[in-house]
Amino acid sequence: MKCLEKGMVIWFTGLPGSGKTTIARRVKEILGRHGYRVELIDGDWARKTVSLGAGFTREERRIHLHRIAWVARLLARNGVIVLCSFVSPYREVRRMIREIVEEEVPFSEIYVKASIETVMERDPKGLYARALKGEIKHMTGIDDPYEPPENPDLVVDTERETVDESVEKVLELLRGKYGLDV
Protein backbone atom coordinates (compact mmCIF):
# COMPACT_ATOMS: atom_id res chain seq x y z
CA MET A 1 0.00 0.00 0.00
CA LYS A 2 1.38 3.39 -1.00
CA CYS A 3 0.83 5.77 1.87
CA LEU A 4 0.73 9.39 0.84
CA GLU A 5 1.57 11.97 3.50
CA LYS A 6 -1.37 13.99 2.21
CA GLY A 7 -4.06 12.84 -0.12
CA MET A 8 -6.22 15.00 -2.32
CA VAL A 9 -9.86 15.56 -3.14
CA ILE A 10 -10.98 15.05 -6.72
CA TRP A 11 -14.50 16.44 -7.15
CA PHE A 12 -16.61 15.19 -10.07
CA THR A 13 -19.54 17.49 -10.91
CA GLY A 14 -22.14 17.29 -13.65
CA LEU A 15 -25.78 16.61 -14.41
CA PRO A 16 -27.40 13.45 -13.02
CA GLY A 17 -26.62 10.67 -15.49
CA SER A 18 -23.54 12.39 -16.95
CA GLY A 19 -21.20 9.58 -15.90
CA LYS A 20 -19.58 10.99 -12.76
CA THR A 21 -19.75 7.89 -10.60
CA THR A 22 -18.98 5.52 -13.47
CA ILE A 23 -15.74 7.37 -14.19
CA ALA A 24 -14.87 7.78 -10.49
CA ARG A 25 -15.38 4.03 -9.88
CA ARG A 26 -12.98 3.14 -12.70
CA VAL A 27 -10.40 5.64 -11.43
CA LYS A 28 -10.75 4.16 -7.92
CA GLU A 29 -10.16 0.63 -9.23
CA ILE A 30 -7.03 1.67 -11.12
CA LEU A 31 -5.60 3.67 -8.22
CA GLY A 32 -6.32 0.76 -5.87
CA ARG A 33 -4.48 -1.66 -8.17
CA HIS A 34 -1.49 0.69 -7.98
CA GLY A 35 -1.53 0.51 -4.18
CA TYR A 36 -3.09 3.85 -3.29
CA ARG A 37 -5.61 4.27 -0.51
CA VAL A 38 -8.76 5.60 -2.20
CA GLU A 39 -12.30 6.39 -1.09
CA LEU A 40 -15.21 7.12 -3.39
CA ILE A 41 -18.00 9.19 -1.90
CA ASP A 42 -21.04 9.56 -4.12
CA GLY A 43 -24.38 11.23 -3.67
CA ASP A 44 -26.43 8.06 -3.26
CA TRP A 45 -24.16 6.68 -0.53
CA ALA A 46 -23.84 10.04 1.24
CA ARG A 47 -27.60 10.58 1.38
CA LYS A 48 -28.03 7.17 3.02
CA THR A 49 -25.29 7.73 5.60
CA VAL A 50 -23.64 11.03 6.59
CA SER A 51 -26.42 13.21 5.15
CA LEU A 52 -29.43 11.05 5.94
CA GLY A 53 -32.60 13.01 5.24
CA ALA A 54 -30.91 15.73 3.19
CA GLY A 55 -33.29 17.35 0.77
CA PHE A 56 -32.80 18.93 -2.62
CA THR A 57 -33.55 22.63 -2.12
CA ARG A 58 -30.65 25.00 -2.72
CA GLU A 59 -30.04 25.42 1.03
CA GLU A 60 -30.38 21.70 1.79
CA ARG A 61 -27.89 20.89 -0.95
CA ARG A 62 -25.47 23.50 0.42
CA ILE A 63 -25.61 21.99 3.92
CA HIS A 64 -25.28 18.45 2.55
CA LEU A 65 -22.23 19.33 0.44
CA HIS A 66 -20.67 21.31 3.31
CA ARG A 67 -20.70 18.07 5.33
CA ILE A 68 -19.22 16.09 2.46
CA ALA A 69 -16.43 18.63 1.92
CA TRP A 70 -15.37 18.23 5.56
CA VAL A 71 -15.50 14.42 5.42
CA ALA A 72 -13.41 14.49 2.22
CA ARG A 73 -10.91 16.91 3.76
CA LEU A 74 -10.49 14.74 6.87
CA LEU A 75 -9.85 11.64 4.79
CA ALA A 76 -7.44 13.42 2.44
CA ARG A 77 -5.38 14.95 5.23
CA ASN A 78 -4.74 11.38 6.36
CA GLY A 79 -3.24 10.30 3.05
CA VAL A 80 -6.37 9.10 1.27
CA ILE A 81 -7.20 10.02 -2.32
CA VAL A 82 -10.86 11.03 -2.11
CA LEU A 83 -13.02 10.87 -5.22
CA CYS A 84 -16.29 12.76 -4.74
CA SER A 85 -19.12 12.28 -7.23
CA PHE A 86 -21.87 14.85 -6.69
CA VAL A 87 -24.15 16.82 -8.99
CA SER A 88 -23.22 19.87 -6.87
CA PRO A 89 -25.13 22.15 -9.26
CA TYR A 90 -24.27 25.61 -7.89
CA ARG A 91 -21.02 27.45 -8.51
CA GLU A 92 -21.10 29.23 -5.14
CA VAL A 93 -21.39 25.90 -3.31
CA ARG A 94 -18.52 24.39 -5.32
CA ARG A 95 -16.44 27.47 -4.41
CA MET A 96 -17.27 26.82 -0.74
CA ILE A 97 -16.24 23.15 -1.12
CA ARG A 98 -12.93 24.15 -2.73
CA GLU A 99 -12.21 26.67 0.05
CA ILE A 100 -12.91 24.11 2.80
CA VAL A 101 -10.72 21.47 1.22
CA GLU A 102 -7.85 23.67 0.00
CA GLU A 103 -7.23 25.05 3.49
CA GLU A 104 -5.47 21.77 4.15
CA VAL A 105 -5.18 19.51 1.08
CA PRO A 106 -5.07 19.73 -2.72
CA PHE A 107 -8.36 19.87 -4.65
CA SER A 108 -9.31 19.39 -8.29
CA GLU A 109 -12.70 19.94 -9.89
CA ILE A 110 -13.63 17.74 -12.84
CA TYR A 111 -16.61 18.72 -14.95
CA VAL A 112 -18.31 15.65 -16.38
CA LYS A 113 -20.01 17.29 -19.32
CA ALA A 114 -23.12 15.96 -21.05
CA SER A 115 -26.13 17.81 -22.44
CA ILE A 116 -29.52 17.68 -20.76
CA GLU A 117 -30.84 15.85 -23.85
CA THR A 118 -28.18 13.13 -23.49
CA VAL A 119 -28.65 12.60 -19.76
CA MET A 120 -32.43 12.52 -20.16
CA GLU A 121 -31.96 9.82 -22.79
CA ARG A 122 -29.64 7.84 -20.50
CA ASP A 123 -31.76 8.39 -17.35
CA PRO A 124 -30.20 5.38 -15.56
CA LYS A 125 -32.29 5.83 -12.40
CA GLY A 126 -35.50 7.04 -14.08
CA LEU A 127 -35.20 10.39 -12.29
CA TYR A 128 -35.84 12.61 -15.30
CA ALA A 129 -38.94 10.63 -16.27
CA ARG A 130 -40.26 10.98 -12.72
CA ALA A 131 -39.41 14.70 -12.61
CA LEU A 132 -41.24 15.32 -15.88
CA LYS A 133 -44.32 13.64 -14.38
CA GLY A 134 -44.06 15.97 -11.37
CA GLU A 135 -43.07 13.18 -8.97
CA ILE A 136 -39.69 14.74 -8.13
CA LYS A 137 -39.18 18.39 -7.23
CA HIS A 138 -35.91 20.35 -7.50
CA MET A 139 -34.58 18.06 -10.23
CA THR A 140 -31.36 19.46 -11.63
CA GLY A 141 -31.81 20.29 -15.29
CA ILE A 142 -35.62 20.25 -15.11
CA ASP A 143 -36.86 22.67 -12.46
CA ASP A 144 -33.54 23.46 -10.80
CA PRO A 145 -30.49 24.87 -12.62
CA TYR A 146 -27.08 23.32 -13.18
CA GLU A 147 -24.37 25.95 -13.32
CA PRO A 148 -21.42 24.52 -15.27
CA PRO A 149 -17.99 25.21 -13.79
CA GLU A 150 -16.29 28.29 -15.21
CA ASN A 151 -12.71 27.08 -14.66
CA PRO A 152 -12.63 23.36 -13.87
CA ASP A 153 -9.27 21.63 -13.59
CA LEU A 154 -10.47 19.16 -16.22
CA VAL A 155 -13.46 18.64 -18.52
CA VAL A 156 -14.45 15.16 -19.63
CA ASP A 157 -17.15 15.12 -22.29
CA THR A 158 -19.09 11.90 -21.98
CA GLU A 159 -21.02 12.59 -25.16
CA ARG A 160 -17.84 12.56 -27.25
CA GLU A 161 -15.50 10.34 -25.20
CA THR A 162 -15.71 6.72 -24.15
CA VAL A 163 -15.55 5.94 -20.44
CA ASP A 164 -11.99 4.69 -20.97
CA GLU A 165 -10.98 7.95 -22.67
CA SER A 166 -12.49 10.01 -19.83
CA VAL A 167 -10.79 7.83 -17.22
CA GLU A 168 -7.43 8.24 -18.99
CA LYS A 169 -7.84 12.04 -18.94
CA VAL A 170 -8.44 11.90 -15.16
CA LEU A 171 -5.37 9.69 -14.71
CA GLU A 172 -3.32 12.14 -16.78
CA LEU A 173 -4.42 14.93 -14.41
CA LEU A 174 -3.42 12.82 -11.39
CA ARG A 175 -0.02 12.06 -12.91
CA GLY A 176 0.67 15.62 -14.02
CA LYS A 177 -0.71 17.65 -11.14
CA TYR A 178 -0.03 15.26 -8.25
CA GLY A 179 2.79 13.06 -9.52
CA LEU A 180 0.86 9.84 -8.97
CA ASP A 181 2.37 6.70 -10.44
CA VAL A 182 -0.57 5.29 -12.43
Active site members: 88
Task: Convert the chain into a string of H (helix), E (strand) and C (coil).
Answer: CECCCCCEEEEEECCCCCCHHHHHHHHHHHHHHCCECEEEEEHHHHHHCCCCCCCCCHHHHHHHHHHHHHHHHHHHCCCCEEEEECCCCCHHHHHHHHHHHHCCCCEEEEEEECCHHHHHHHCCCCHHHHHHCCCCCCCECCCECCCCCCCCCEEEECCCCCHHHHHHHHHHHHHHHHCCCC
Task: Count other Cβ atoms within 10 Å, centred on residue 5.
Answer: 7
Distance from C-alpha of 36 to C-alpha of 116, rounded to nearest angstrom: 35
